[in-house]
Chain A
Amino acid sequence: MTLTTMPNLNDRDEIYARIIETHQGLTDAESQALNARLVLILVNHIGDEAVVAEALALARGDSG
């Protein structure tokens, strides 16, 4: 399995709005902590170290 980089969401505007809404009312530090927790939760859900490694590289800007 490799990282999915093609669009994969049915209602991307709704998901995006939900992410923003989850941060509502938080300080920057609280938001950063929330993002860290969210990354860990999603990484565990993915459960594939190779995929996570690809995602980390893409996020960091070392590939693609």
Chain B
Amino acid sequence: MALLEVRDLKVHFNTDDGVVKAVDGVSYSVDRGQALGIVGESGSGKSVSSLTVMGLTRFFSNAQISGEILLDGKDLLAASDEEMRHLRGSEISMIFQDPLSSLHPFYKIGDQLVEAIRTHRDVSRAQALDRAVEMLGLVGIPEPRRRVDGFPHEFSGGMRQRVMIAMALANDPKLLIADEPTTALDVTVQAQILELIGRLQNELDTAIVIITHDLGVVAEVTDEIAVMYAGRIVERAPTDTIFSAPEHPYTWGLLGSIARLDAPRGDELVPIPGRPPSLINLPTGCSFHPRCPYVREAHRRIDPSLEPVAGDSGHHVACLLNTETRKRLWRLLEAGTAPEEARAQVGLEDDVASPKEASL
């Protein structure tokens, strides 16, 4: 049985402008000791789905949550607020993007760590402090016994993120969720933190979910990747597969639009035209169709669901094109063909014109 299993999770917010379908039917699972990467841009629903696993979306009075979230078989959505509170910070932990604003500016970090520990464990303050010092040492903060009396503003960005990680791991959680853990950090510090997360995962056998928009980050640290778009998972596969044989046009678009150090310099960046859709008025049929270079008439009407790829049960895609066509398209794109050209070569019927550029 998987450690975490999310089934058909939906999180809708009632606002004055309409219902925001932030998460619209998401399913994935994470095994013990495994690292899952959730990749998406702003508005994809990646953060909201993880906040819901933590039970933090319950604090929004206008949220409607449905589906199942099973942690070791127990449904978290059906759990009471008090039960969720006991799990938060002990069985499941989360770290966030900006470590400066995520730590309380008025309390020493030692006190904040001790608080995290004593909420879930019946230990004395001295014992909790020892554990805090131990954790700070584990995450690589020099002179932990002295620095435990420091305030957040006395630490650098990288150090603060380490403190957050220490706090999150203090109670030996089974699952750690990291929401854009390195986005606010400098590149060299990012490298340190990623290395730390990888090392800790090995040592402590914690399952990790990393949420990010950076494909480079997930390539380094994850075993499996789920690509999210407009509140849904559009592709889910082992990490190697996502990069070597992706089968969703959005994934192709992401891979084609990023500048890469390992590609020849002359390669053009191929942006995805248009912009992410409004979560209140999602497009009809396939949510990606207004921006998809391979769109066909039927895609405006039919909403694809996440299905396994023929011959590869670990690889799921939500796309109406058949897998043969997709594989051919990818081979062409990999070789440097432009999307329009690839579409023509594959022979997709021209029943709908390619989407226009940018925002016109």
Q: Decide if A and B are genuine partners.
A: no
